[in-house]
Structure 1
Amino acid sequence: MRQLSELDASFLYLESVTAPMHIGGVYLFDARDRDEPLAFSTFVAYLQSRLHVIPLFRQTLREIPLRLGLPYWVDDTEFNLDRHLAYVSLGGQGEQDTLRGLAARILEEPLKRDRPLWHITFVDGFRYDPDDPASTGFALIIKLHHAAIDAFSGEEIIGKLLEYSPDPSPISPPQPWEPGPAPSEERVYLQTGVNLVRKPFQIANLAINAAEATARGLIQKHLHKLPLPFPLFSAPHSPFNRQITANRKIISTTVSLARLKAIKASLGDVTLNDVVLGLCAETLRRYMENCNADVTRSLVAMTPISVRSKSLRRSTGNQMSAMLLNLATDEADPAKRIKKIHWNAVASEPYQEAIAADRLTELLPTNLLALSARLYSELQIAQRYQPVFNVPITNVPGPQVPLYLQGAKLKSQYNTAPLFDSMGLVIVAVSYQGSLTVNFTLCPDVVPGGESLGPLLQESLTSIESAAAELPSDRQITETHNEPQPTLTEDALTLIEGILKKTVQRFRG
């Protein structure tokens, strides 16, 4: 038994018919170097031989009665690989637009909870290059639930499934596997009781960490004149923050990493991640201008940051910290904007390191965590108040060497992330073999004309290159910050802080 964290479980509680909480991937393979096309039966045999390297593929959820505790991952005693695979043939004529449309329809469907939370669709007869009849290959459409992985561990799993050699390795027989015995009812109730006893100590521990983070932030503010973090619900309303439907669309476009690195070198003291965020910000600003939306207030992004290297508590699950980042979309110059994004990221660093995202959910009992997640959606809280942030943007570094599956080369990949109420657009950027693919997962009922995002991103890159060439690399971006005014949120947080301090003192006493 391996228990989910509060953060992992929150993705289960947020899931609904219109908001499936799985991460998706579309992987395009060119099989021209194979002697014959890769048969679906060969892929099934290959996958069977690799199941032992990914234990979560044979683990299912075990819920706690009355949600008095978080669910557990347990071995699926009735695991059947056929329940996780599907076959689709495009007849050798399928192209990338057709594939993306098929993937969008598949990714709209939630994963079934009565089995391990993953699914792979093998798409046969796909042609990577429509002008080259010899480029016929196949594609994989993969769904992995966000309760089991984050975007960073998802890339690790794909790396374990694929090969680094163009020469097909012999497919070995599957390794013997015996599922662990299902936990007894007595064990489940016993563990639930232990968790309930442990909860007050978790609350006290979180309060101590929060107090330490607050103190450290105040010291940093006075020593380095850094601004306080964004108050909650201060992000502006935008065209992306409306109630979503079940419809999905995937828009992807690829740029050269060399061009992004050249911009980084031209601007000086910025990171490659700053350039990627600046590219996304310029694209969003152009889209908003085309929609006649207000661009005088800057969009706020939520950028997940992997803490896997800092916290190796488990091999999968969500091991992230999150940072709210001002994208400076109110700045017209795209090169200056990247400088400001870098400054904003540096200013926010002490706060994003203070408490990881999975600790922010530990304060609520499990049943209240589930209830609050459900009420957030059903009561349309995001429609009634300003959003905490406008768009999530994840930049995942991928392998820079080619990957293969039985001699078929992985040419490119599209990655998607789940949408939820008030978040009609999510951006995931993944690098592979010298290129960066920027993927827009969107709800077309919320983001109309989303197909323009691809061309807008290419235009944005050219515009940034021109602006960066004209901007001196040593130019410093200075910021002025008005004294923050008290808000209802700050008053509420002050009240909670007082309650937490009293709780800590009581436990220490």
Structure 2
Amino acid sequence: MRQLSELDASFLYLESEIAPMHIGSIYLFDASERETPLAFSTFVAYLRSRLHVVPVFRQRLKEIPLRLGRPYWIDDPDFSIERHLAYVSLGENSREASLMTLASRILEEPLKRDRPLWHITFVDGFRLGEEKDGKEGFALIVKLHHAAIDAFSGEEIIGKLLEYTPEPQRISAPRPWQPRPEPSEERVMIQAATNILRAPWRFASLAAGAAETTARGLIQKQLLKIPLPFPLFSAPHSPFNRQITANRKIVSANIELSRLKAIKAALGDVTLNDVVLGLCAETLRRYLGEQGADTGQSLIAMTPISVRSSTLRRTTGNQMSAMLLDLATNESDPARRIRRIHWNAVASEPYREAIAADRLTELLPSSMLALSARLYSELQIAQRYRPVFNLPITNVPGPQVPLYLQGAKLAQQYNAAPLFDSMGLVIVAVSYQGSLTLNFTICPDVVAQGDSLRNHVCESLEAIEEAAGDLDPEEMHTPLIETRNQTLLDDTISLLESALKKLTGRFRR
């Protein structure tokens, strides 16, 4: 048995019908170089032959009775690949718009918990491009639960499943696999008891979870009466931070990496990631202006940071830290804004040496994180008070060489991230083969006219290029004045450690 970390388990407990916690991807393949279209049966045989490279594909959750501990990953004795695959034919005249509509509907549905937490839809009859005689192709719509992977490990998994040569490789027979016996209930309970003995204080949190209904009522009654003094609630109100529904939509825009690299070179001491964040910031500023929203206060983004070891890597689980970053959207000049973003980032300790997220979850169990999240949603804290942050932005470097699936070239990929209540917009930037795709996962009932984001990206890039060319070279060497910047983990941990010190102090007295 391999137990989920507190961070992994939190994504299970945060999930609801309107907020599924899986990561989604849409992969478009150009099959025009193949002699015959790729049959669904061939794809199934190909996937069978490569299941061994992703063990979590054949592992399901084993829950602990009474939630006396975090779930475990165990081999699924009833594993059947057919339960994780679906076939859809859009017809020969199908185009990208119809594919994205289909993907949005599929990604709205949570994964079933009685089997390994992934699903792939094979879309046949798809044609690349908008021309009538577009290239023959197919698409894959992939769902992987966030409890099993993060955005960085998700890219590693796809890299292992696909091929690096345009020549179709012979599909080998699946490697023999025998599921390890499912642990008995007695063993699971003994393991849970052992874990409780290792961390006695956690038993108290379990008792608190049992009193959840009473606690929720008491907390709600008090919080509705008094303003919240938490220093973390400092992001401005925005149109994104309202209660979401189950509806989803993916809006994407493609950009040449060379243009972003040219901006980086023009601005001097900034990173490519700073330029990507600056592009997101300018896009959001333009969208807010179009919607008549206030742009006088700067938006705050939560930016995940991979803390994977370069020497010890595993392609499953979440190995992330995070920081809150001021996007400087109150700065009108988009080139100066990128320099400000760089300053805000390097002034944060996690930018130089990210703190493992386990430090937070060791202090606050996943069950309590889930309770806090539900209270945050049910009490409409984001509507009544300032939100913790306005949106997450993740930048995932992808392969810069072409990938293939049985001779069909991966032409384009789009990515979707989970939406959290009061968080109706998430941005995921993924690079592949000299191109960067900005993916906006939105709740259309919260983010009005979301399709305009695509046009704003193109306009924003041109504006940044122009502003970078006009920036005085002397200004690039002028020190910036430190602005507001805080880290999600550091601030939260400080609050928790302070509370724990007071608690332990009472016991000592």
Same fold, TM exceeding 0.5? Answer: yes
> d(CA) in 1 for partners of 2:484 and 2:256?
39
> What pairs with 1:328-347 in structure 2 (closer than 5 Å)?
328-347=328-347
How big is the shift at 1:199? 2.0
Structure 2: which amino acid aligns with 1:499? L
> d(CA) in 1 for partners of 2:461 and 2:43?
38
> d(CA) in 1 for partners of 2:344 and 2:320?
20
Report the counterpart of residue 478 of structure 1 in structure 2. Answer: 480
> d(CA) in 1 for partners of 2:74 and 2:242?
37
SS in 2 for 1:197: helix
CA displacement, residues 139-166 of structure 1 (integer Å, 9 cap, x when unaligned): 0000000000000000000001100000
Is this contact kept in 2: 1:428–1:439, CA < 8 A? yes
How big is the shift at 1:500? 2.7
1:252 to 2:252 alignment: yes
> d(CA) in 1 for partners of 2:485 and 2:355?
25
Q: Which of 468-477 and 440-449 deviates more?
A: 468-477
1:241 to 2:241 alignment: yes
Report the counterpart of residue 289 of structure 2 in structure 1. Answer: 289
> d(CA) in 2 for partners of 1:482 and 1:326?
7
Is this contact kept in 2: 1:126–1:139, CA < 8 A? yes
Q: Which of 465-474 and 240-249 deviates more?
A: 465-474
Is this contact kept in 2: 1:425–1:443, CA < 8 A? yes
How big is the shift at 1:358? 3.2
How big is the shift at 1:93? 1.1
> d(CA) in 2 for partners of 1:47 and 1:504?
57
Structure 2: which amino acid aligns with 1:17? E
Report the counterpart of residue 439 of structure 2 in structure 1. Answer: 439
Report the counterpart of residue 498 of structure 2 in structure 1. Answer: 497
SS in 2 for 1:133: coil
> Kindly, what percent of the aligned residue pairs are identical?
71
Structure 2: which amino acid aligns with 1:295? T
Q: Which of 61-70 and 360-369 deviates more?
A: 360-369
How big is the shift at 1:346? 0.5
SS in 1 for 2:348: helix
> d(CA) in 2 for partners of 1:300 and 1:495?
22
Is this contact kept in 2: 1:21–1:146, CA < 8 A? yes
CA displacement, residues 172-221 of structure 1 (integer Å, 9 cap, x when unaligned): 11111000110111111111111112225899xxxxxxxxxxxxxxxxxx
How big is the shift at 1:504? 9.4
How big is the shift at 1:506? 8.4
Report the counterpart of residue 133 of structure 1 in structure 2. Answer: 133
Change (3 A) 1:304 1:483: closer
> d(CA) in 1 for partners of 2:498 and 2:406?
57
Is this contact kept in 2: 1:243–1:446, CA < 8 A? yes
Structure 2: which amino acid aligns with 1:58? R
Report the counterpart of residue 174 of structure 1 in structure 2. Answer: 174
How big is the shift at 1:120? 0.2
> d(CA) in 1 for partners of 2:444 and 2:5?
32
Report the counterpart of residue 416 of structure 1 in structure 2. Answer: 416
> d(CA) in 1 for partners of 2:483 and 2:156?
41
Structure 2: which amino acid aligns with 1:478? L
How big is the shift at 1:94? 1.1
Report the counterpart of residue 266 of structure 1 in structure 2. Answer: 266
Structure 2: which amino acid aligns with 1:497? S
SS in 2 for 1:450: coil
Report the counterpart of residue 29 of structure 1 in structure 2. Answer: 29
Is this contact kept in 2: 1:13–1:374, CA < 8 A? no
> d(CA) in 2 for partners of 1:241 and 1:265?
35
Structure 2: which amino acid aligns with 1:57? F
Structure 2: which amino acid aligns with 1:364? L
- Unpaired runs of 5+ residues, structure 2, are 204-229
Is this contact kept in 2: 1:311–1:319, CA < 8 A? no
Is this contact kept in 2: 1:424–1:443, CA < 8 A? yes
Change (3 A) 1:373 1:502: closer
SS in 2 for 1:362: helix
How big is the shift at 1:136? 1.2
Is this contact kept in 1: 2:321–2:354, CA < 8 A? no
The root-mean-square deviation of aligned C-alpha atoms, in Å, is: 2.6
Structure 1: which amino acid aligns with 2:15? E
> d(CA) in 2 for partners of 1:148 and 1:491?
24
- Unpaired runs of 5+ residues, structure 1, are 204-229
Q: Which of 461-470 and 92-101 deviates more?
A: 92-101
Is this contact kept in 1: 2:196–2:202, CA < 8 A? no
Structure 1: which amino acid aligns with 2:270? V
> d(CA) in 1 for partners of 2:474 and 2:315?
42
> d(CA) in 2 for partners of 1:56 and 1:350?
29
